[in-house]
């Protein structure tokens, strides 16, 4: 039997080991500071934020935490800053003992906000 999907960020975080929980709580605070108008929700079983569409999300696996930027274009635009980190098309993986720099997270979130706002403007 599988564990039930978390319904809130709090329940998601509560189920994690202390080190991952603390790392992701801090990541969450940095995201909220960078995007104070974003709505927080749980989507696909992980904590996420939306503003003018999906923004960013985060999660945890057995051996790492993940920051889901959800944009290959933003990842490409910040490739130099992301060099040396464990990345894939729209994800940055990290461990609690090597958290992502706050300033980098803030820049990635702000880039996603700008990307979403531009997409919304094109729709109008």
Whether 124 shows a pLDDT value over 80: the answer reads no
- The residue among 62, 64, 100 whose CA lies nearest residue 82 is 100
Question: In 2-101, where does DSSP find H-type helix?
Answer: 9-14, 18-34, 72-77, 79-82
pLDDT beyond 80 at 1: no
Cβ-contact 24, 78 below 8 angstroms: no
CB burial readout 28-46, b (16+ within 10 A) else e? bebbeebbeebebebeeeb
**Cα 53 to the chain's mean position, in Å?**
14
> In this predicted structure, what is the pLDDT of residue 3?
58
pLDDT of 68-102, one tens digit each? 999 999 999 999 999 999 999 999 999 999 999 99
Report the predicted TM-score, pTM, of the whole model to 2 decimal places.
Answer: 0.94
Q: What pLDDT, in 10s, does the model give residues 13-69?
A: 999 999 999 999 999 999 999 999 999 999 999 999 999 999 999 999 999 999 999
């Amino acid at each position: 039997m599988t564990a039930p999907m978390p319904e809130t960020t709090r329940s998601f975080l509560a189920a994690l080991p202390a080190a991952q929980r603390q790392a992701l709580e801090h990541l969450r605070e940095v995201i909220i500071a960078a995007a104070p108008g974003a709505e927080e929700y749980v989507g696909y079983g992980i904590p996420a934020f939306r503003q003018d569409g999906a923004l960013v999300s985060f999660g945890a696996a057995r051996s790492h935490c993940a920051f889901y930027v959800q944009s290959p274009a933003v990842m490409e635009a910040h490739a130099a800053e992301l060099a040396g980190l464990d990345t894939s098309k729209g994800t940055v993986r990290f461990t609690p003992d090597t958290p992502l720099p706050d300033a980098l997270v803030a820049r990635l979130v702000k880039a996603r906000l700008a990307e979403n706002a531009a997409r919304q403007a094109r729709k109008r």
